[in-house]
């Protein structure tokens, strides 16, 4: 290890500590300097670099293990950490800044982990730091959502930890692919898969995402939408490539997210459902297992980080400027926020897969892999998901937020740093869409692909144009309502809460009645100990003076006798102690 080889995640975690203790002006310097230094450290790392840390019983932990897959995800995370911190420069809370940096640093810790123990350590640190990005909003809904977020991720972490125990007990501390090991070590395989699946927002355990992300702070949601789920995608690529079950799970995710997004009224909740949808592309690609599909999963993870952060930043700018987050409360904002509207539509075109935007490049790789490897149904369903994405994000949300009926809202000016961050993300959406080789050169697997074929471009444009026509006809039906769509989080919002309340109240009743029963039992048996022999005698002998009833004034020694006996006991104890000391000497 040379002087320039340093863990990028550790740089961000050190930056988080500094953000807590430094004054506001210096904290802003750290917020920019830490991601830049992490990027510098990353570009000085080459595949094959491994840094070990001595642990217990001679075990060395590979806290930094660089290969082509970990390096490219490290690049993704360093870039978004920089953009997210630029967007958050105006915030006054040192704690929120520190939480964002620690969250990004621990995500890098998972990506570069070479052993299971390091992975679970940073996995839990990632969860512990990210929840504060929800709680720092300081609303009752945010506090409740944060608690549910913790509860779900404790569930995830415990499954992952249990699977890791099986691996470590078997002497397998090094992280290796688990594909094909279900028959050999089924417990480890399924426990680790479930733990990762929760963080990947795989249904039916996806509702934590759409529950917590909309309740986060305006700036915190940028970090939330970028890290946890993409770390899970990295783990799926690393551990479960070619697990065919994931293909169909991914397709279900893509369609599931679209359906709920079309129904949703809250703008950040709508975008959160699209995270689930886009994750479906990545999960399906991992299930295919071919090099082109895995490259597509990695490329789409980066595309998603960029365009989804842009969309969340634009939504955050609208919330910051108006104080409103419901589509039914927004409208006519284009005149007041034209720059945000233009930047938003770039992100919307990107997520919808419009040619010349980065989403088209990465989605084409996944659908191309599905076509090439005999999954035509998967290809068509993923195209259908693109139609729903354009309908809900590119048309519905954009139109009703910026061009719908004007609600007469007062709009305050957004900070310059927010506009700069949004512009950087929009630039990257266009850059990687126009010059995809800039991304392809870093992808970890040996597969080449040309996205700009006539078939790809024409089919994409046909679908999007048809979707636009349908939207124009159905505008009155799509304007949204103030209703709330129930999701699987209902089961731990309502039945679980009711079950816990029932358990607590039942336990309290049992305790109350057991105390009453115990008191009655004591009252019944205490008289027996007044004179046990008397209680054992026949009824006709109980009046015999040989067995008199207990009397408080007759059945105890005088107080002087008791004091004398206590003194004798102390003297005896003292003599025993002294004799013991003498014998030892």
What pLDDT, in 10s, does the model give residues 16-26?
A: 999 999 998 89
In a domain, 573, yes or no: no
Residue 374, Ramachandran bin (φ over 0: left; ψ between -120 and 50: alpha; else beta): left
Same domain, 333 and 226: no
Q: Would you say residue 496 lies in a domain? A: no
Is residue 502 one of the residues assigned to a domain?
A: no
Q: Which of 76, 125, 63 is nearest to 98 (CA)?
A: 125
Task: Work out how many domains the chain is built from and give that number.
Answer: 2
- In terms of domains, do 255 and 392 share one? yes
Give all strands (DSSP E) within 172-218, no chain letters: none
Domain final residue, candidates 223, 238, 253: 238
Q: Check whether residue 285 and residue 405 sit in a common domain.
A: yes
Residue of 103, 104, 89, 100 lying closest to 27 (CA atoms): 89
pLDDT at residue 105 is higher than 90: yes
323 has a pLDDT exceeding 80? yes
Mean pLDDT of the chain: 87
Do 316 and 453 reside in the same domain of the chain?
A: yes
Give kind and range of the element (H or E) at residue 577: helix 559-584
First to last CA, the chain: 60
Residue finishing a domain among 464, 483, 502: 483
Domain assignment of residue 538, yes or no: no
Q: Is residue 388 domain-resident?
A: yes
Same domain, 176 and 53: yes
Tokens 């397709």 correspond to what residue?
251
SS (H, E, C) 381-433: HHHHHHHHHHHHHHHHHHHHHHCCCCCCCCCCCCCHHHHHHHHHHHHHHHHHH
Residue 228 predicted with pLDDT over 90: yes
Indicate the pLDDT class of residue 191, thresholds 50, 70 and 90.
very high
pLDDT at 549: 55
The range of the structural domain enclosing residue 395 comes to 241-483
Answer yes or no: do 271 and 144 share one domain: no
At residue 52 the predicted structure's pLDDT band, cuts being 50, 70 and 90, is confident
Of residues 146 and 486, the one with the higher pLDDT is 146
H helix intervals, 240-332? 245-263, 267-288, 291-322
Residue 482's pLDDT is what? 64
* 550 found inside a domain: no
Q: What are the b/e assignments for 489-527, b being 16+ CB within 10 Å?
A: beebbeeeeeeeeeeeeeeeeeeeeeeeeeeeeeeeeee
Residue 489 pLDDT > 80: no
Mark whether 188 and 283 lie in a shared domain.
no
Let me know: does 349 contact 358? Beta carbons within 8 Å.
no
Helix, strand, coil percent values for the chain (each to nearest 5): 70, 5, 25
Judge if 315 and 283 occupy the same domain.
yes
Question: What is the predicted pLDDT for the residue at 408?
Answer: 84
- The pLDDT confidence band at residue 479, using thresholds 50, 70 and 90, is low
Residue 584 banded pLDDT, cuts 50, 70, 90:
low
Q: Are 257 and 170 within one domain?
A: no
Task: Note whether 103 and 183 are same-domain residues.
Answer: yes
In this structure, the answer to whether residues 315 and 427 fall within a common structural domain is: yes
Q: Is residue 491 part of a domain?
A: no
CA distance 448 to 89: 39
Question: Would you state the pLDDT for residue 440?
Answer: 87
Residue after which a domain boundary falls, among 467, 483, 499: 483
Of 415, 403, 227, 389, which is closest to residue 316 (Cα–Cα)? Answer: 415
Cβ atoms of 418 and 344 closer than 8 Å: no
CA 265 to chain centre: 23
436 falls within a domain? yes
């Amino acid at each position: 290890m040379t002087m320039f080889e340093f863990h990028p995640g550790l740089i961000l975690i050190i930056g988080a500590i500094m953000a807590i203790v430094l004054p506001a002006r210096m904290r802003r310097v750290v917020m920019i300097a830490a991601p830049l230094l992490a990027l510098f450290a990353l570009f000085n790392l080459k595949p094959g670099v491994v840094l070990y840390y001595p642990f217990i019983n001679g075990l060395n932990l590979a806290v930094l293990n660089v290969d082509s897959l970990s390096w490219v995800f490290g690049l993704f995370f360093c870039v978004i950490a920089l953009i997210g911190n630029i967007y958050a420069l105006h915030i006054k809370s040192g704690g929120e800044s520190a939480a964002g940096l620690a969250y990004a640093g621990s995500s890098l810790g998972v990506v570069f982990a070479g052993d299971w123990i390091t992975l679970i350590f940073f996995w839990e640190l990632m969860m512990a730091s990210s929840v504060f990005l929800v709680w720092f909003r300081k609303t009752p809904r945010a506090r409740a959502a944060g608690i549910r977020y913790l509860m779900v991720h404790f569930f995830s972490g415990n499954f992952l930890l249990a699977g890791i125990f099986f691996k470590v007990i078997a002497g397998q501390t090094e992280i290796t692919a688990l594909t094909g090991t279900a028959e050999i070590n089924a417990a480890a395989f399924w426990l680790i898969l479930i733990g990762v699946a929760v963080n990947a927002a795989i249904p039916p355990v996806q509702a934590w995402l759409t529950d917590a992300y909309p309740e986060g702070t305006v700036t915190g949601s940028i970090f939330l939408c970028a890290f946890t789920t993409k770390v899970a995608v990295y783990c799926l690529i690393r551990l479960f490539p070619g697990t065919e079950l994931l293909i169909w799970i991914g397709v279900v995710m893509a369609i599931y997210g679209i359906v709920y997004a079309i129904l949703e009224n809250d703008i950040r909740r709508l975008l959160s459902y699209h995270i689930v949808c886009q994750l479906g592309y990545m999960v399906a690609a991992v299930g295919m297992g071919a090099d082109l599909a895995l490259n597509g999963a990695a490329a789409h993870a980066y595309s998603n980080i960029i365009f989804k952060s842009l969309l969340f930043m634009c939504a955050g700018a609208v919330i910051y400027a108006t104080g409103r987050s419901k589509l039914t409360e927004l409208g006519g904002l284009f005149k007041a926020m034209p720059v945000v509207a233009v930047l938003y539509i770039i992100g919307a075109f990107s997520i919808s897969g419009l040619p010349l935007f980065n989403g088209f490049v990465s989605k084409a790789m996944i659908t191309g892999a599905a076509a090439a490897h005999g999954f035509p149904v998967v290809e068509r369903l993923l195209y259908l998901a693109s139609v729903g994405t354009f309908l809900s994000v590119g048309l519905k949300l954009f139109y009703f937020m910026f061009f719908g009926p004007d609600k007469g809202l007062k709009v305050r000016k957004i900070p310059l740093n927010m506009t700069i961050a949004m512009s950087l993300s929009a630039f990257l959406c266009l850059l990687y869409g126009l010059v995809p080789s800039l991304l392809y050169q870093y992808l970890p697997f040996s597969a080449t692909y040309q996205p700009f074929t006539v078939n790809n471009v024409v089919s994409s444009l046909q679908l999007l144009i048809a979707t636009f026509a349908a939207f124009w006809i159905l505008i009155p039906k799509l304007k949204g309502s103030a209703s709330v769509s129930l999701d699987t989080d209902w089961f731990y919002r309502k039945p679980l809460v009711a079950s816990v309340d029932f358990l607590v109240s039942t336990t309290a009743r049992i305790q109350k009645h057991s105390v009453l029963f115990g008191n009655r039992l004591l009252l019944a048996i205490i008289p027996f100990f007044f004179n046990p022999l008397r209680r054992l005698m026949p009824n006709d002998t109980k009046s015999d003076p040989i067995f008199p009833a207990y009397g408080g004034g007759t059945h105890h020694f005088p107080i002087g006798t008791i004091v004398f006996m206590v003194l004798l006991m102390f003297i005896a104890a003292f003599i025993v102690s002294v004799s013991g000391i003498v014998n030892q000497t």
